Amino acid sequence: MHIQDMILTLQKHWSNQGCILMQAYDTEKGAGTMSPMTLLRSLGPEPWNVAYVEPSRRPADGRYGENPNRLYQHHQFQVIMKPSPENIQELYLDSLKQLGIDPLKHDIRFVEDNWENPTLGAAGLGWEVWLDGMEITQFTYFQQIGGLEADPVSVEITYGLERLASYIQDKENVFDLTWTEGVTLHDIFYQPEYEHSRYTFEESNTDLLFKWFSDYEQEAKQLMEKALVFPAYDYVLKCSHTFNLLDAKGVISVTERTGYIGRVRSLARSIASLYVKEREKLGFPMLKKEGEQDDA
Amino acid sequence: MTHNVLFEVGLEDMPARFLKSTESQFLNKTKTWLDEQRLTYHSVESFITPRRFSVLIKDLSEKQPDLHEEVKGPAKKIALDESGNWTKAAIGFAKGQGADVDAIYFKEIKGEDYVHVEKFIEGQRADEILQNFKDVILSLTFPKNMRWSDRSLRFIRPIKWLLALKDDEVIPFEIEGVQTSNQSFGHRFLGSTFTLSSPTEYEEKLETEWVIANSDKRKKLIMEQLNHLETSHNWVIPVDDDLLEEVTQLVEYPTAFYGQFSDDFLEVPEEALVTSMKEHQRYFPVRDQNNRLLSYFIGVRNGNEDYLDTVAKGNEKVLNARLKDAVFFYQEDQKQTIDDYNQKLSRMVFQENLGTIKDKVDRITNLTEQIAKSLSLNETDINDAVRTAEICKFDLVTQMVNEFTNLQGIMGEKYARLFGESEAVAKGINEHYMPKHTNDALPNSTIGSIVSVADKLDTIVGCISVGLVPSGSQDPYALRRQTMGVIRILKEENWSLSFEALIDLVLEQLTEVNKESHDSEITLAVKRFFESRISYLAKEEKISQDIIRSVSHRNLGVVSQLFAKAHLLENKRTDEAFKPTQEALVRVMNLAKKGDSVQIDETQFENEYENNLFNRIEAVQQPISDAYDKEDYQDVLNQLTLLTDDINAFFDHTMVMADDSNVRSNRLAMLNRIAEMINPLADFTLIEWKQQF
């Protein structure tokens, strides 16, 4: 099965479970969790079910397109369901069957893995899902987001698409994976992988990056003061990505590192509270809508 | 008639590491609850798998025993009116107890009659009581709890089903929207939903549904499968108990399988391969009869033997990819030099107020040199020790250790050898982390011991200097464990360096650090910290606390000598033959505290006993001093024994606290001289002597 068909299959499956199909968010980010469709929307009481593919940038993992397993940018298929359905494990296992993975022919396990992202003040409990010893999915019940208690609890399912595909397509090297008939990952992503690695490790302008970090931080704060949640959040994401670029280049010492992470976290925390406050001002509209449907 | 009862809580997959404690907690709380409910039973059996925990209660009593209880009411004078009729108070009391006034009788308490009735409480039926079993389930506590959906309960994992059965009847209750039933679920993929008609069928029925509910049975099954693989392939599969336990708790139905990886990977140090297999993949490594690592591994699948080849193949693919990473790291690491790595240590913070790892390494290096010199090692050993200290942390920034943190030291040793360091230095790097835990071996070489002590003391004294003193369970820098390590090494090595001198050396290295208090206060705090660990270790060696206090009354000194003295005195404390000497010496030491001079003026002597004692002191002085030099404390005691008779004669015929102050201080000076010969050994007045009972 090509990656493209995997995406179509997963979209269909989760759409059938009532998920809104979203597109990737247009700001650089390290993980699908950081999309506002997850990080902000999983806050507060409003129900929210969504699925989308997120290209995720991890500058430090860039390997000039030479490593068979590591990528500057990989793809996650992200599902969020709030509140978490009672049969979520079954729904997930069904999705594997849709991908042609017959549980009877394999060894599928839910192995404890508690997820924590200090930069986002987020923590959750759950598992990594093993398919014959390979971690293919991160499965998390959010307990805290942006320093706020998650109530109700969202469940987050993150499929590592390249990982899963390398199993399904039985390939040793991610660049040999086929995106669709006749098109490999190498065709599409080799050049960007190489160039981004060069940029990250050799050509980026460190002074500019440091300046950008501060500017983005300023802008995020300025916008938060005006209660403009979503624009402010875009600048938090930019801060985070800029920090990742600096970190990958090795120009941030360990002591400074804690400081930078603290700055991003403090932005994430403020914005989490601000989001909930602003939604409350609007009367949690998606909650109301659900109530009306119940009445009808 | 008795009943069999079964409760099963079905959950989403629980963390393997919490299964054992959850099972025993559930069992104990069930028993306690039944006792509290006054229900008797023949036995309670517990079961646990990743997806369920359960108890099977056999022969539970049908109801609680009835109770007859005597209840005291108002005084007789209030209960009866003037004409001898029951008052409202009496009638009300009887009614309140569900009795008739006819049932009232009187009983005298402290000279006054009171109304009493006998209350009959009928035992409640087990049926009704068992509906409250929910309380037991909700009383369970877990190291990590979670919430799910829009529920408020915090529990180990979301509850999926509840099975509650008394014989063939469902015991009705509900937790977080889940209602009890007589249904259970088999293995997630191989099994199905099934109905139980009797609690006693539980284990057997689950087994047909591909679930081994008893975790000991699962473990035994895995062991048998491993043994079978060993015999049929002529392998040796060393079984790590923790790994076996974890693997047992990760599956409902275990089937062991083997896979292979490329022989090329065997060039990587085997510790890295083993870590990759064990920690990352939960595989058992395989060895041949000569203990050589083979390119096979054993995994345990959650399921039966169907499609086992596919499972094995998938696992092989994963392990090969992981090991490829390891080879890559191993080769990449060798492209840089130790100097490159040491440079990078200046970017790694050790502790905010104690600088970087590089700063720490510099301190350790200086300290190592000073210790090595004070032990008069030869030139080569001193140089090797210093070199070991200089590069003892370089592997922390290699990719290999970055990936496999538990290989710190081990990779340092391997790489040092590849980079052409001497054998002594390579070994020293690995040994300087030892002992890694309470029962771990000590460093083999003196060089390893010196650097280990230097590293640990730098951490201990450094942390205490900046106010990071462990309290309660809070000990993030593992100072207690490291202190224990230092004491064990010092005890074993018998260096002539005293504890106090060592601490001074460490503090000299910490001059750049912004300390929270003066060096003297830090020394005292460190000493207290060490004393508490020493007394802990003493307890393990059956040395009592008063003995430890008596031998450390002035300072901790040379730690190995401290223990040698303590062991000797621990024996003497019950030695009948030593009693007279001990009594004489204790008397001397008690009195000696009243004076401070040791200047004896022979012209002040008033009787021959003073003379005799003085001569005896003069006679043993040198031998005792020699015995101390030779660390022969038994001989010290032998020499002191020679004083016994003269001391006793002296006390019998001499008034120490004489009126004449010159005579008095001269006599005290003589006692002081004796005390000074005993003091380096111990303060005998602090010991509870136990020669007689």
CATH number at residue A210: 1.20.58.180
Is residue A155 domain-shared with residue A214, that is, in the same domain?
no
Number of domains forming the structure of chain A: 2
**In this structure, is residue A289 part of a structural domain?**
no
Chain A residue whose CA is closest to B303: A107
Q: Is residue A276 part of a domain?
A: yes
For the purposes of burial, counting CB atoms within 10 Å of the CB of B176, is it exposed (0-12), middle (13-18) or buried (19 or more)?
A: middle
What is the predicted pLDDT for the residue at B511? 85
* Euclidean distance between CA atoms B568 and B573, whole angstroms: 9
Q: Are residues B438 and B510 in the same domain?
A: yes
Q: Does residue A211 belong to any structural domain of this protein?
A: yes
A293 domain-assigned: no
Minimum Cα–Cα distance from A163: chain B residue = B318
Q: Compare CB distances from A84 to B50, B149, B315 and report the shortest one's residue.
A: B149
Residue from the list B148, B314, B328 with its beta carbon closest to the beta carbon of A106: B314
Instruction: Report the half-sphere exposure of B520 (CA within 13 A, side-chain side).
Output: 0
Question: In this complex, which of B319, B321, B356 lies closest to A69 when CB atoms are compared?
Answer: B321
Q: How far is A234 from chain B (nearest CA, A)?
A: 29
pLDDT band of A295, cuts 50, 70, 90: very low
Do residue B114 and residue B146 come from a single domain?
no
b/e map of B390-413 (b: 16 or more CB within 10 Å)? Answer: bbbbbbbbbbbbebbeebbbbbbb
Cα separation, B213 vs B127, in Å, equals 26
In a domain, B344, yes or no: no
pLDDT score recorded for residue B693: 47
Which of residues B150, B177, B209 is at a domain's end? B209
Helix (H, G, I), strand (E, B) or coil at A114: coil
Asked if A185 and A277 sit in the same domain, the reply is: no
- The 10s digit of each residue's pLDDT in A149-198 is 999 999 999 999 999 999 899 998 999 999 999 999 999 999 999 999 99
CA separation for the pair A38, A77 (Å, rounded): 12
In A, minimum Cα distance to B349 occurs at A254
Instruction: Say if B303 is an interface residue toward chain A (CB within 8 Å).
Output: yes
Residue type at A60 in one-letter notation: A
Spatial distance between the Cα atoms of B583 and B193, rounded to a whole number of angstroms:
81
Does A104 lie in the same domain as A243?
no
Range of the domain at B438: 349-560
Answer yes or no: is A242 within a domain. yes
Q: Is the Cβ of A26 closer than 8 Å to some Cβ of chain B?
A: no
Q: Is residue B398 domain-resident?
A: yes
Residue A291 has pLDDT above 70, yes or no: no
Residue B263 lies in a domain: yes
Give how far B437 is from chain A: nearest CA, Å: 26
Is A173 an 8 Å CB contact of chain B? no
Percent of chain A at pLDDT exceeding 70: 96
Nearest Cβ partner of B147 from A93, A143, A167? A143
Which of A86, A144, A247, A287 should be substituted to probe chain B, the one whose Cβ sees the most B Cβ atoms within 10 Å?
Answer: A86
- Do A239 and A176 lie in a common domain? no
Residue B414 lies in a domain: yes
pLDDT tens digit string along B196-251? 999 999 999 999 999 999 999 999 999 999 999 999 999 999 999 999 999 999 99
Q: Are B8 and B110 found together in one domain?
A: no
CB contact under 8 A, B148 and A84: yes
**Distance between CA atoms of residues B592 and B589, nearest Å:** 5
The pLDDT of residue B111:
87
Mutate to test the interface with B, among A63, A107, A148 (most CBs of B within 10 A): A107
- The alpha carbon of residue A225 is apart from the nearest alpha carbon of chain B, in Å, by 32
Residues of chain B with pLDDT under 50: 693
Domain co-membership, B228 together with B328: yes
Q: What is the CATH number of the domain that holds B10?
A: 3.30.70
For position B186, what pLDDT does the model report? 97
For residues A80 and A54, is the Cβ–Cβ distance under 8 A?
A: no
From residue B315, how far is each of B237, B260, B615 by CA, in Å?
Answer: 18, 9, 85
Q: Are residues A278 and A196 in the same domain?
A: no
Comparing CB atoms, the residue among A93, A111, A132 nearest residue B311 is A132
The residue segments making up the domain with residue A165 are 3-201
Q: Are residues A122 and A179 in the same domain?
A: yes
Q: What is the CATH number of the domain that holds B478?
A: 1.10.3210
Last residue of a domain, one of A180, A201, A222: A201
Residue B341 lies in a domain: no
Task: Return residues 235-254 of B near A (CB < 8 Å).
Answer: 250-251
Q: Is residue B569 part of a domain?
A: no
Q: What is the H or E stretch that residue A202 is in?
A: none
Q: Is residue B195 located within the same domain as residue B51?
A: yes
Partners of residue B250 in chain A, C-beta under 8 Å: 109, 111
Residues B459 and B544 in one domain: yes
- The domain boundary, picked from A172, A201, A230, lies at A201
The sign of the CA dihedral B328, B330, B334, B337 is: positive
Q: Is B462 on the interface with A (CB under 8 A)?
A: no
Q: Does residue B163 form part of some domain?
A: yes
What CATH number corresponds to the domain at position B582? 1.10.730.10
The pTM assigned to this predicted structure is 0.79
Q: Using CB atoms, which residue from B311, B317, B356 is nearest to A107?
A: B311
Co-location of B487 and B419 in the same domain? yes
Minimal Cβ distance to B306: which of A69, A104, A125: A104
pLDDT for the residue A292:
55
Same-domain pairing of B159 and B244: no
Contact A107 B12 (CB under 8 A): no
Let me know if residue B443 belongs to a domain: yes
Number of domains present in the structure of chain B: 5
Same domain as B188, residue B87: no
Residue the block writes with tokens 């490790």 = A201
Residue A250: its chain B contacts at CB < 8 A? 347
What is each CA distance from B48 to A88, B42, B207, in whole angstroms? 23, 21, 13
Q: Report the CATH number that the domain containing residue A176 is assigned in CATH.
A: 3.30.930.10
Q: What was the pLDDT predicted at A290? A: 52
pLDDT value at position B692?
60
Assembly ipTM: 0.92
Chain A contact for B59 (CB, 8 A cutoff)? no
Q: Do B146 and A125 touch (CB under 8 A)?
A: yes
- Write the pLDDT tens digit of every residue in A261-288: 889 989 999 999 999 999 999 999 998 6
B321 in contact with A, Cβ within 8 Å: yes
Residues B636, B663, single domain; the answer is yes
- If asked whether residues A209 and A93 sit together in one domain, one would say no
The pLDDT mean for chain A works out to 92
Are B57 and B77 found together in one domain?
Answer: no
Please indicate, yes or no, whether residues A90 and A162 belong to a single structural domain of this protein.
yes
Pick from B106, B121, B136: which residue ends a domain? B121
Residues A128 and A270 in one domain: no
Same domain, A140 and A29: yes
Instruction: Identify whether residues A177 and A219 lie together within a single domain.
Output: no
Domain assignment present for A287: no
Calculate the CA A87 to chain-centre distance.
23
Domain boundary among A163, A181, A201: A201
Residue of A86, A108, A132 with shortest CB distance to B149: A86
Q: Is residue A267 part of a domain?
A: yes
Per-position DSSP letters for B185-216, written without gaps between them:
E--TTT--EEE-S-GGGHHHHHHHTT----HH
**Of the residues B100, B121, B142, the one at which a domain ends:** B121
Residue A151: list chain B partners with CB under 8 A. 147, 150
- A269 is a domain residue: yes
List of chain B residues whose C-beta atoms are within 8 Å of the C-beta of residue A125:
144, 146
pLDDT digits (tens, 9 = 90+) for A211-255: 999 999 999 999 999 999 999 999 999 999 999 999 888 777 666
Contact list, A128 vs chain B (CB under 8 Å)? none
Q: Are residues A145 and A273 in the same domain?
A: no
Contact B377, B364 (CB under 8 A): no
Q: Min CA distance, B22 vs chain A (Å)?
A: 15
Most A-contacting residue of B318, B350, B352 (CB-CB within 10 A), to test interface: B318
- Whether B244 and B321 map to the same domain: the answer is yes
Q: Looking at the complex, does the CB of residue A152 fall below 8 Å from at least one CB of chain B?
A: yes
SS (H, E, C) B294-335: EEEEEEEEECCCCCHHHHHHHHHHHHHHHHHHHHHHHHHHCC
